[in-house]
Structure 1
Amino acid sequence: MKRLNSNQNLATIVIVHGAFEHAGRYQSLAESFRDDGFNVIYGDLPGQGSTEGKKGHIKKFEAYIDTVRKWLQIADSSRPVFLLGHSMGGTVVMRVMQELKPSVDGVILSSPAVGILNGASKSLEAVTHVMNKVWPSVLVKAPFKPEYVTRNPDVIANDKQDPLIIEKISIRWYKEFRKAIKKSLSEVGEFPNVPLLVMQAGEDYMVDSEKTKEWFHKVGCQEKTYKEWPGFYHEIFNEPEQENVYNFALNFINLQVKQAGKGEL
């Protein structure tokens, strides 16, 4: 787990990364938040990045939820706290909010994985169902290609040389992820009433944007905003126009901090 502290201490932002990747890919984003006065907590989820254990494998999705719970406990509760999740990290944040209902002042979801594209076929799903029982830790190739997630050539070049990006995932990981996605939709009513910002890539090759819209329209938050970025690929915070995305998120956070009355802007 990494922690960046700002002398201004306006609020704490907890960042949850997505599938196949790691917290190091959010270093620049975390530093930007820190420079704008916010503390930032972020780290590698179990089975990813530099964590111990088998890479690309988890026994239960709850391992992710428990990890984020621990990060939230570290945050300064005297100041506003925000959860920001990207892709699968968005699914994790959804499940954290639905199951734990933590006291946070706002949630930001970046291209959340409410539905995934290019998933297993029906015949392959049947095979994974069997394999999940007899050999759950067997690894299969992960559907991650840098060119599918961003139009930024620098990020693509770095990703192709990044040894921490996962190339294989386990059958159990896949099944647990799919189960969490289904729960995030079926238990949408359990999402607490907190300010919500959902930002979705307009040209997303990884997640189903229509499912994102479906979830957003069903969630019962009184204050919620849906922003689609036309032409953007999946990783909106890594796109060439990332400054616009950052400023949009920053404005949302600053507004909530002002309304919370716990910080000074």
Structure 2
Amino acid sequence: MEKLESTRDRATIILVHGAFEHKGRYKELADRFRQDGFSVIYGDLPGQGLSDGKKGHIRSFGDYVETIQSWYEQADPDKKIFLLGHSMGGLAVIRFMEEKQPQLDGVILSSPAVQIRNKTTRPLEALSYLMNVFTPSLRMKAGQNPENVTRNQIKVEEFRQDPLVIDKVSVRWYREFQKAGSRAFQQVNRFPDVPLLVMQAEEDLLVDPARTKEWFNHVDTSEKSYKLWPGLYHEIFNEPENDQVYHYTQSFLSNIINER
């Protein structure tokens, strides 16, 4: 885990990365937040990046929830605290909020992976339940294509050459990921009443935008906003239009900070 302190310290943002990647892919975003007066906490989720354990494998999705809890505990409770989760990190933030119901000031979800677009075939899906019992740590190719992640060719090449990007995940990881998506809907009533911003890429080739909107519609919060980004691919903070995405996010943060 890394904590970037800002001298202005307007608030703390906890960044949670997505599947297959690591915190290093968010350094530019973290630095930008810090320059604008936010302290940033971020790290590698279990089984990814430089974290301990077998890469691409977890015991349960709760490993992610407990990791986010440990980062949350590092934030200054006397300052405003925000959570920002991308893709699977967005799903992990949802489950953290539903399970832990922490005291914080806002949640931002970037293309949250409540349901992926391309599931496995029905026979393989059925087989995964059996394999989860007998060979849970068996890893298989994830089939991640960076061209489907962003239209920013610089980021595509960085992704391809990044030695910390994983290309295999375990059967247990897959089954826990699927289960977490279902529970995000089943326990949506446990999501606490905090300001919520959900930003979804319209041309998302990895997660289903319709299911993101469906989950959003079920959340009962007094202040929530849904932003669909026309033409953007999955990684909205890495798209050529990332300046627009960043300023939209900053506006959400500033509005909460200024009104409280």
TM-score range, shorter chain: over 0.9
CA deviations over 1:98-145 (Å, ceiling 9, x no partner): 000001100000000111111112111111011000100000001311
Percent identity of paired positions between Structure 1 and Structure 2: 54
Q: Distance in 2 between matches of 1:7 and 1:227?
A: 31
Where does residue 212 of structure 1 map in the other structure?
A: 212
Q: Where in structure 2 are the equivalents of 1:139-178 lying within 5 Å?
A: 139-178=139-178
Q: Report the TM-score, using the length of structure 2 for normalisation.
A: 0.99
Where does residue 104 of structure 2 map in the other structure?
A: 104
Q: Where in structure 2 are the equivalents of 1:72-151 lying within 5 Å?
A: 72-151=72-151
Task: Give the C-alpha shift of residue 197 in structure 1.
Answer: 0.2
Where does residue 242 of structure 2 map in the other structure?
A: 242
Structure 2: unaligned runs, 5 residues or longer = none
Give the AA of the match of 1:16. V
Give the AA of the match of 2:185. L
CA deviations over 1:19-69 (Å, ceiling 9, x no partner): 000000000000000000000000000000001110000011111000000
Where does residue 222 of structure 1 map in the other structure?
A: 222
Regions of 4+ moved over 6 Å: none
Q: How many residues align?
A: 260
Task: Give the C-alpha shift of residue 255 in structure 1.
Answer: 0.8
Give the AA of the match of 1:107. V
Q: Report the TM-score, using the length of structure 1 for normalisation.
A: 0.97
Q: Where in structure 2 are the equivalents of 1:7-46 lying within 5 Å?
A: 7-46=7-46
Q: Distance in 1 between matches of 2:9 and 2:131?
A: 48
Give the AA of the match of 2:204. D
Where does residue 263 of structure 1 map in the other structure?
A: none
Q: Distance in 1 between matches of 2:226 and 2:217?
A: 9
Equivalent residue of 1:173, what SS? Answer: helix
Say what the alpha-carbon RMSD is for the aligned residues: 0.6
Where does residue 53 of structure 1 map in the other structure?
A: 53
Equivalent residue of 1:238, what SS? Answer: coil
Task: Give the C-alpha shift of residue 167 in structure 1.
Answer: 0.6
Q: Distance in 2 between matches of 1:25 and 1:208?
A: 23
Give the AA of the match of 1:120. T
Structure 1: unaligned runs, 5 residues or longer = 261-265
